[in-house]
Amino acid sequence: MTPAIEVPAGAPLTVLSDEEQMFQQSVREFAIEKIRPLVHDMDPQAAMPKELISSFFDLGIMGIEVPDQWGGAGSSFFNAVIVVEELSHVDASCGVLVDVQNTLVNNAILRWGNNDQKSKYLTMLARDTVGAYALSEAGSGSDAFALATRAEDKGDHWVLSGRKLWITNAAEAGVFIVFVNANPDAGYKGITAFIIERDFPGFSVGKKEDKTGIRASSTCELILEDCRVPKENVLGEAGKGYKIAIETLNEGRIGIGAQMIGVARGALEYAIAYSKERRQFGKAISEFQGLQFQIAQAATQLEAARLMVYNAARLKDAGKPFLREAAMAKLFSSEVCERVTSTAVEIFGGNGYTKEYPVEKFWRDSKIGKIYEGTSNMQLATIAKTILTDRL
């Protein structure tokens, strides 16, 4: 059992509207009351209780941008970012489950699905079904379109064969957006996105990865063995999967940025609280200027990262270009998260290096931010390209 540390709910400096503040507060209270008591057990068990996932649907945060006609909240992308940050400040695994659901799966169907697909799948995803987004393969990571999985047109249906790796939410998901190459001779222009249901013949979920961080979030391989997929389950159109993947991931990176600022904030809140309790040389360590400077630096970096993430989300909601801003937000927030969580461990001293206290988990959870949904080097490449082809 984690020793009790009284953690204040620190208010961000960033200005939100009254409505956004109320929404943020409701999600924050939910995270503290419903998720925090479970975190200490979820991490070693590497699993999330089904009841907790059900509560995400009950709260209405699994279909944030889904219109109310399909059972969603009909809200904004910015509110999805708020949710991911608030959940992640308590547990990053919960944050990424909800993030993938909203910024990748729901988003892809909202943008490229036809009316029948929206009516069927968005209703499921808003009501009770977890979604997963399957792009990566063993030989296809940063080179996202070097796909070995194949789709063959059989007239009235498609047959898919191959394997996907590192698929978030795979253990819990009932709906998967899967990218395969339906025309290898056309290169990346043969890539096609399919909506696959868990019980489709020839589809199965394989090995679950044993990860360093975000352990309660499932990461599994997908196995497609002559998986039969109806023609109507092509998302968008055949050969346009590369466009769907690129544009969806641009938005997903803002979600990962939100996850990282949430993780950093959670660690920093614990570190501040602990610094006021821990005494050395006759006074609380928070009274030492050296530690005060560490906290001030961490808080400043965190607020800068938050502003970048919020700005990218605002641009997306306004219908303005946000490619560079999303890449910058993910790059910077993941770097800040790693630094801030490491500082939090150091503030806790020896206690920080033990699993009895919470900050080592935040530290472990931070590392993935530089890796998934585009590594830091890929973000730098995107930023450099946009700068060199445009004016700042």
pLDDT band for 141, please (50, 70, 90 cuts): confident
Q: Is residue 297 part of a domain?
A: yes
Place of tokens 């990282």: 260
The percent of residues in the chain predicted with pLDDT above 70, rounded, is 96
pLDDT for 9: 53
What residue type is 82 in one-letter code?
Answer: I
Span 23-32, average pLDDT: 97
Q: Is residue 283 part of a domain?
A: yes
3-state SS assignment for residue 282 = coil
The CATH number given to whatever domain includes residue 63 is: 1.10.540.10
Does 260 share its domain with 188? Answer: no
Q: Is residue 349 part of a domain?
A: yes
The CATH number given to whatever domain includes residue 277 is: 1.20.140.10
267-299 pLDDT, tens digit per residue, is: 999 999 999 999 999 999 999 999 999 999 999
Does 362 share its domain with 268? Answer: yes
pLDDT for 390: 78
The percent of residues in the chain predicted with pLDDT above 90, rounded, is 93
Does 73 share its domain with 175? Answer: no
Does 136 share its domain with 41? Answer: no
Does 196 share its domain with 219? Answer: yes
pLDDT for 1: 43
Span 30-43, average pLDDT: 97
303-361 pLDDT, tens digit per residue, is: 999 999 999 999 999 999 999 999 999 999 999 999 999 999 999 999 999 999 999 99
Contact 225, 201 (CB under 8 A): no
Which residues constitute the domain of residue 197?
132-241
Alpha-carbon distance values, 188 to 48, 192, 193, 226, 365 (Å): 36, 9, 12, 22, 33
Q: Is residue 294 part of a domain?
A: yes
The CATH number given to whatever domain includes residue 187 is: 2.40.110.10
Contact 370, 253 (CB under 8 A): no
Alpha-carbon distance values, 382 to 166, 277, 358, 389 (Å): 23, 44, 35, 11
Is the pLDDT at 5 greater than 80? The verdict is: no
Host H or E run for residue 192: strand 191-197
Is the pLDDT at 10 greater than 80? The verdict is: no
Q: Of 130, 162, 197, which marks where a domain is finished?
A: 130
Phi, psi of 102, rounded to the nearest 5 degrees? -85, -50
Domain count, the chain: 3
Place of tokens 């009316």: 115
Q: Is residue 8 part of a domain?
A: no
169-201 pLDDT, tens digit per residue, is: 999 999 999 999 999 999 999 999 999 999 999
Catalytic residue, from 221, 325, 338, 373: name it: 373
Round to whole Å and give the CA distance between 344 and 360.
Answer: 8
Average pLDDT score over the chain: 95
Round to whole Å and give the CA distance between 252 and 107.
Answer: 9
Does 237 share its domain with 252? Answer: no
pLDDT for 318: 97
Give the predicted TM-score (pTM) of the model: 0.95
Span 212-238, average pLDDT: 98
Does 333 share its domain with 365? Answer: yes
Round to whole Å and give the CA distance between 316 and 297.
Answer: 29
Q: CB-based contacts of 273: which residues, under 8 Å, 6+ apart?
A: 5, 6, 7, 8
Span 26-41, average pLDDT: 97
Q: Is residue 6 part of a domain?
A: no
Sign of the CA dihedral with 129 first, then 242, 319, and 262 last: positive
Place of tokens 């200027």: 289
Place of tokens 């503030």: 347
pLDDT for 165: 97
pLDDT for 7: 58
Round to whole Å and give the CA distance between 118 and 382.
Answer: 31
pLDDT for 145: 86
Round to whole Å and give the CA distance between 306 and 281.
Answer: 36
Span 140-153, average pLDDT: 92
Contact 179, 191 (CB under 8 A): yes
Round to whole Å and give the CA distance between 192 and 239.
Answer: 5
Does 255 share its domain with 366? Answer: yes
pLDDT for 13: 54
Bridge partners of 137, per DSSP, are 140
Does 262 share its domain with 279? Answer: yes
Least confident of 5-19, 83-97, 193-207: 5-19
Is the pLDDT at 4 greater than 70? The verdict is: no
85 an active-site residue?
Answer: no
Does 107 share its domain with 231? Answer: no
Does 61 share its domain with 142? Answer: no
Alpha-carbon distance values, 73 to 21, 104, 118, 160, 296 (Å): 17, 16, 15, 34, 37
Q: Is residue 101 part of a domain?
A: yes
Q: Of 192, 221, 241, which marks where a domain is finished?
A: 241
Does 66 share its domain with 165? Answer: no
Q: Is residue 87 part of a domain?
A: yes
Is the pLDDT at 12 greater than 80? The verdict is: no
Q: Of 86, 114, 130, which marks where a domain is finished?
A: 130
